Amino acid sequence: MTTYDAGAVTLRKVRDYVWEMPKQGDMRVPARVFASEALLDEISDDKTLEQLRNATHLPGITKYAICMPDGHQGYGFPVGGVGAMDARDGCISPGAVGYDINCGVRMMTTNLTYDDVQGHEQELVESLFANVPSGLGGGGVFEGTVGDVDAILEDGVQWALRNDWAVPEDLEHCEDEGKRPDADPTAISQKAKDRGKNQIGSLGSGNHFLEVQRVTDVYDDEVADAFDLTEDQVVVLIHCGSRGLGHQTCNDYLRRIEKTHAGLLDSLPDRELAAAPAGSQLADEYYGAMCAAINFAWVNRQLIMHRTRQVFEQVFDRDWRDMEMHLLYDVAHNIAKKEHHQVGVDADGTVVADDGDAVEYETRELYVHRKGATRAFPAGREEVPPAYRAVGQPVIIPGSMGTGSYVLRGGERSMHETFGSTAHGAGRLMSRTQAKKEYRGGDVQTALREHDRIYVKAQSGATVAEEAPGVYKDVDEVVRVSDALGIGDRVARTFPVCNIKG
């Protein structure tokens, strides 16, 4: 048996790229890490595995706690973590979703080629930076009232459509058609709404960005055709979330759950994992609030995308429809969703981690928590929009501002291995404090421009240093592992042209 010595724990190799942390002590289930040995070297370098082991203590966790190839240390639950908790007798944990509810990525395609954009990069980056609010206190493209916030929380992208920030095709290409039916705006606090009303249509800061990219490689012609992707095509990638409204919502429920379900919390190794028991009032309220915050994040990305269309109209002096600027897809990577999954059970009806121990299979309703992980449903699943149902859900995995990003499609084995999930990005390698010691923002910007023809503009030089390409894992390796595992198949690779950051 091949093993990997990770210090405090030894992992058993199940097969290529699948490592298991055995169940020990109070762990309810084993944990699995989906990674190459090279990535595992990085994953085991910080507290990721300790946090993954802590996640296995959550009530109702099914099969195993999962770490994706891009996993790294977060708070409470690791980033790159997936935990599926039984929706009947398990729990839902705000910390296993994260503060930035529905932080995610959307990609917009165009009919422009890299040739069309060359020579306009400076104008484009300046205009995007001037027109898309970013950074701390940058406001939003739409200054709303609390009433507007309520409508957004209730209706999601349908609100954007009613207010001329969207076209019907945008909804058809968004998960859940841009509206979570379980959203409950009354479950969002006034404090959260106060923070949200000035941030509708804003990037924020940190690792959030808007990037103009060119498609450099197509790996699967048939799927790329279904996604309307071709080599040399220009696309736009938007990465941000639910802003202060989502952060406050996570915080509000973490504290309420801590006070109400102290007994459950006392059984967990980390206060940040505070969880509401399935069926409790707080579990339902948090789910309603989280779904409403999901709607807010979708509208946030929708408004930024629509404003980007207007910027392209100015820069290229053409109607955005003539440039065929269409939403490819919008994926969340901080979310929990009630989903039905087939699991193997033993003679007692207990879910087993290893299918070899299963006597039959049952369908269970689960709260699938994906924190720094992306849903990656394969072809045929009814949750995948009709436009993509024949080929599988688009999955968008951003790299850093100096490396490529990827478009994948949900892989055939994702339902079986990872509750229909794959990685969410390159994953950080280096701390922000270390990054600022190693890099200067201005030097990074100059190097990107002179060596790679990438135009970067940011509110803060420190942000550029903290997000330098060298602070991230190798996104090519992350995607290679996902593809090899069959959980997310490579479709195309893109490379940055212009990037704006907060």
Partner 1 sequence: MSFELREHTADVAVEASGDTLDACFAAVADGLTAAQCDDVPDGVGDRFELSVESERVESLLFDYLDELVYERDVRSVLPADHEAAVTGGDDGTWRVDASARGVPFDAVEAREVKAVTYSEMRVEETADGWHAYVVFDV
Residue 81 near residue 55, CB atoms below 8 Å: yes
21-60 positions binding partner 1, by CB under 8 A:
46, 48
Question: Which single residue is written with the structure tokens 């091949």?
Answer: 2
Q: Is 501 annotated as a binding residue?
A: yes
SS3 74: strand
Q: Is 316 annotated in some ligand binding site?
A: no
Select the residue interacting with partner 1 from 123, 172, 177, 194 (CB under 8 A). 194
∠ CA(358), CA(363), CA(366), 5° rounding?
110
Q: Where are the alpha helices (DSSP H) in 1-156?
A: 37-43, 48-55, 114-117, 121-131, 146-155
Q: Is 198 among the residues that bind partner 1 (CB under 8 A)?
A: yes
Q: Shortest gap between Cβ of 99 and partner 1 (angstroms)?
A: 4
Helices 243-260, 281-316: axis angle to 10 degrees equals: 170
Residue 207 in marked binding region: yes
List alpha helices for 243-380, DSSP H.
243-260, 262-266, 281-316
Stretch that binds partner 1, among 98-106, 114-122, 177-185, 401-409 (CB under 8 A): 98-106
CA distance 304 to 69: 29
Applying CB under 8 A, the site for partner 1 has a residue count of 50
Nearer Cβ to partner 1, position 157 or 304? 304
Longest dimension (CA), the chain: 67
Residue among 473 and 493 whose Cβ is closer to partner 1: 473
What does the CA dihedral 391, 396, 402, 404 come to, rounded to 10 degrees? -10
* Interface map 157-186 toward partner 1 (x if CB under 8 A): ------------------------------
For partner 1, the binding residues in 230-269 under the rule CB under 8 A are: 244, 247-248, 250-251, 254-255, 258-259
Nearest to 327 by CA among 152, 113, 105, 141: 105
Do the annotations mark residue 325 as ligand-binding? no
Binders of partner 1 in range 428-487 (CB under 8 A): 428-434, 459-463, 466
Regarding 100 and contact with partner 1 (CB under 8 A), the answer is: yes
- Encode burial over 197-229: b for 16+ CB neighbours within 10 A, e otherwise: bbbbbbbbbbbbbbbbbbbeebbbeebbebbeb
| Cα–Cα distances in angstroms (integers) from residue 186 to residues 192, 286, 290, 295, in the given order | 11, 11, 11, 14
Residue placing its CB nearer to partner 1 in the complex, 158 or 400: 400
499 is a contact residue toward partner 1 (CB under 8 A): no
Segment contacting partner 1 by CB under 8 A, of 96-104, 111-119, 178-186, 283-291 = 96-104
What is the phi/psi pair of residue 150, to 5°? -60, -45
**Active-site option among 247, 326, 369, 424:** 424
Catalytic: 306?
no
Q: Is 54 known as a binding-site position?
A: no
Closest by Cα among 295, 334, 341 to 90: 341
Residue 80 marked as a ligand binder: no
Using alpha carbons, select from 468, 476, 381, 495 the residue that is nearest to residue 423. Answer: 476
- Give whichever of 107 and 478 is closer to partner 1, judged by the CB atom: 478
Q: Count Cα neighbours of 419 within 13 Å in the Cβ-side half-sphere.
A: 33
Q: If binding is defined by CB under 8 A, does position 126 make contact with partner 1?
A: no
Residue 204 engages partner 1 in binding (rule: CB under 8 A) = yes
Q: Which residues are annotated as a binding site?
A: 100, 207-211, 239, 333-334, 398-401, 405, 424-427, 501
Active site residues: 424
- In the complex, the residues that contact partner 1 under the rule CB under 8 A are 46, 48, 72-76, 79, 95, 98-100, 135-137, 191, 194-195, 198-199, 204-206, 244, 247-248, 250-251, 254-255, 258-259, 270-272, 274, 428-434, 459-463, 466, 502
